[in-house]
Chain A
Amino acid sequence: DAGITQSPRHKVTETGTPVTLRCHQTENHRYMYWYRQDPGHGLRLIHYSYGVKDTDKGEVSDGYSVSRSKTEDFLLTLESATSSQTSVYFCAISVGGTNEQFFGPGTRLTVL
């Protein structure tokens, strides 16, 4: 257990509204990630962070922004949610020196 929590675990929202998902870790890991999981696509990287205020884009970053003001928290924001962003979102951390990633329990987001 890498001490990763995500909130909320489930959310239903309407098209055009802003949404923020939170990932929290308790073990001071430097690297954090946001993925989305969709049928037929597996996991795709949205954004990742390599330290406080240090973030970079992944392969599907359009429509998403992130922030990391503290080591333990990594926020994913959908500025104006669209139905194509209905998905399950996973946060992960990387254990330094191993290339291994450990995942949170996920957030199921539905955009109507």
Chain B
Amino acid sequence: GNSVTQMEGPVTLSEEAFLTINCTYTATGYPSLFWYVQYPGEGLQLLLKATKADDKGSNKGFEATYRKETTSFHLEKGSVQVSDSAVYFCALYYGNNRLAFGKGNQVVVIP
């Protein structure tokens, strides 16, 4: 079926470090892919998306490239800030206007 797998466990890193969060997917065809961010006490917000293979989504210094060869959509940011501390969810579109979400990764940035 259609599903998304995110790397296990929280991510803790220092301010200005490089961030990578892995996301791989299983799907029929080439679905649209998304990253959402959830700040403490809030709902999810769309961070970026890519709609076809080799597309790169970007927003707020974050980037992710749709790689069909490796069925991946890894999230990266070159220099994180304390304000980037949040939970990050990878998601894919699987038809009938529905999204499948990964389990999320807690990111903690230490000053």
The answer to whether A and B belong to the same complex is yes
B38-55 CB contacts (< 8 Å) to partner A:
42-46, 49
Is the Cβ of A90 less than 8 Å from the Cβ of B44?
A: yes
Interface residues of B in 82-111 (CB under 8 A from A): 89, 93, 96-99, 101-104
B71 within 8 A of A: no
**Cβ of B102 and Cβ of A42 under 8 Å apart?**
yes
* Size category, A interface: 20 to 34
- With CB as the reference atom, state the residue of chain A lying closest to B104: A42
Number of interface residues of B (CB under 8 A): 18
Neighbouring B residues of A44 by C-beta, 8 Å: 101
A89 CB to nearest B CB, Å: 11
* Of A67-75, A77-85, A101-109, the one with at least 4 CB within 8 A of chain B: A101-109
In the bound assembly, the distance between CA atoms of A9 and B101 in angstroms comes to: 23
Chain B residues packing against A (C-beta within 8 Å): 32, 34, 42-46, 49, 89, 93, 96-99, 101-104
Interface positions of A (Cβ within 8 A of B): 4, 31, 33, 40-45, 48, 50, 56, 58, 90, 92, 94, 99-106
